Amino acid sequence: MGEVVSINAGMRGPEAEARCAACPARRSGLCAAADTGSELACRLGGLSERVTLEPGDVLVRQGDAARHVFAVVAGTLKVTRVMADGRAQISGFLSGGELLGLPGMECGTYVYEAVALTRTSVCRFNRDRLVVLTDDFPAVRRRLLAMTAGELAAAQEQMLLLGRKSAIEKVASFLLQLQAKAARRGVGGTRVQVPMSRAEIGDHLGLTIETVSRCVSKLKTAGSIRLVDTHTIEIRDPTALSELAAAA
């Protein structure tokens, strides 16, 4: 796993509060349950350890004991499910503010593998200590429930996307999802960062790399998007993309 930097663990002073307050995922993730400077904010800061990963580093492996919950601070994680026969599918991509490990809090093991796509930093919370915190602070329990509900909604959307949408509808939906995630992190605008490869997008959407490339080319030709560089796409006609995404 990546380097563990315990920037907050055990601290209870202005330094810990300042680091947590400056976190780019502060208002979109688990810590949104706590007001800056509150007792809850201090407790959350004291529980967390910062983990830094380079591209390709494995954060968790499927089947390992789920001892931690992770909050993504910056960067992107690729989440993969492996079936009994060895086949694997990318079930999602997690970015700033999103949590990893919620299902493991109940079943005791991680149900997927998580690998860093980019240089990524996460806050690591001990599962048992986090459970105690939910008993002491109902706001944390409510926040975890809300984020669990969000995961369920995302899973249902993924089922619809895989089962009912055409290839170009899938790609349009995926780009809009990336834009919506960025907006929740406070990163607005028309440009969307796409750190994953065409092959990884295809694996996630149930498409071949060739089909993904054709769909991107069609959207570009139609004027719906513009390719800024290898990993940046500008959404030029969000209405057209929304109509495609909602077509199923």
More confident residue, 4 or 209: 209
Averaged pLDDT for residues 127-146: 85
Domains of the chain: 3-158 (2.60.120.10), 165-245 (1.10.10.10)
Is residue 2 pLDDT above 60, yes or no?
no
Is residue 218 pLDDT above 70, yes or no?
yes
pTM for the structure as a whole: 0.83
**Residues 109 and 81: beta-carbon distance below 8 Å:** no
pLDDT tens digits along 70-117:
989 999 999 999 888 888 889 899 998 898 987 656 678 898 999 999
Is residue 220 pLDDT above 50, yes or no?
yes
Is residue 162 pLDDT above 50, yes or no?
yes
**Residues 204 and 174: beta-carbon distance below 8 Å:** yes
Averaged pLDDT for residues 22-44: 69
What stretch of H or E contains 115? strand 113-116
By CB atoms closer than 10 A (0-12, 13-18, 19+), residue 178 is: buried
Is residue 11 pLDDT above 60, yes or no?
no
Mean pLDDT over all residues of the chain?
84
Between the alpha carbon of residue 61 and those of residues 13, 23, 73, 113, 240, the distances in Å are 34, 26, 20, 4, 39
Work out the pLDDT band at 3, boundaries 50, 70, 90.
very low
Which alpha helices (DSSP H) does the chain contain, by range?
14-21, 39-47, 104-107, 127-136, 138-164, 167-184, 198-205, 209-221, 238-245
